[in-house]
Amino acid sequence: MGASLMIVGDDTGVTGSLRAAMEQEGYDVDEAGTAEAALERLRGYGAPDVMIVDLLVGEMDAFTCIREVRRAHEVPIMVVSASQDTHDVVAALEAGADEFVTEPFEVKEISARIRALRRRPRLGALPEDPVAEPPAEIVLESDDEAPLVLSPDGGVVRRGDDQLPLTITEFRLLCELAANPGRVLSRTLLLERAWDEGFFGDERLVDVHVRRLRTKIESDPSDPRIVVTVRGLGYRLDMPK
């Protein structure tokens, strides 16, 4: 059996063509015509390996659907839409989506992006070898009671004993920045590295993910001390002194 894929949307033309193409790629595809139906299946059977969500999903809007999925699951989520409205793109990413692809699109592009999403580290995943050395940890913020610690190999970010609910894209961005402490990384570079095969879209989408990341790791997101903006250049991760 191939990897499991759930397609959510009520545009049968779009979802039908996606289903046929993805089944040819070897995926085990499930379709849900509404967001409510998708959430019910996730409650009953758990999350698939990846989700594709059309903005047209019935009475519940796609953004609410994505937020509800994100409350319990770290499954990679791709949004497809005929809309090229920047507000829709930002809203989808803010809700927790990892990718946004506008129609018309090539099936090969969708397939490539899904493969890239699935290659990104699974949060909370541990090395398969039980005798391997523990993953290296990076202290991002020193605090005697609740330090902020990143474990790139373990796929975990913790504040004290609590694991933070980062999405795959947020985690990947943080790892890229932490691998280059004190160095300014441009939006273009972050797109190329955090999205694996590159993302040919609006570089401002990086800002959306960074803003969402800050709400989870910064003590005061309005005055970030860990992921710092360098105006006109990009972002820099500052290590604790």
Classified as helix, coil or strand, 183 is: coil
Q: How many CB atoms lie within 10 A of CB 179?
A: 13
We report the CATH number of the domain holding residue 67 as 3.40.50.2300
For residue range 100-136, what is the model confidence (pLDDT) as tens digits? 888 777 777 788 888 877 765 554 443 444 444 444 7
Q: Is residue 216 part of a domain?
A: yes
Please say which residue of 119, 152, 182 terminates a domain: 119
Q: Is the peptide bond before 224 cis (omega within 30 degrees of 0)?
A: no
179: left (phi over 0), alpha (psi -120 to 50) or beta: alpha
Q: Is residue 18 part of a domain?
A: yes
**What pLDDT does 181 receive?**
92
Q: How many CB atoms lie within 10 A of CB 44?
A: 7
We report the CATH number of the domain holding residue 188 as 1.10.10.10
In degrees, to the nearest 5, what angle opens at C-alpha 190 toward C-alphas 233 and 68? 120
**Statement to judge: residues 115 and 12 lie in one domain:** yes
**Statement to judge: residues 8 and 98 lie in one domain:** yes
Centroid of chain to Cα 13: 26
**What pLDDT does 11 receive?**
75
40 Cβ neighbours under 8 A, 6+ residues apart: none
**Statement to judge: residues 103 and 190 lie in one domain:** no
**Statement to judge: residues 92 and 181 lie in one domain:** no
Average confidence score pLDDT of the chain: 82
Q: Is residue 197 part of a domain?
A: yes
Boundaries of domain holding 145? 138-237
**In which order are the strands placed within the sheet that holds 138-141?**
138-141, 148-151, 156-159, 162-163
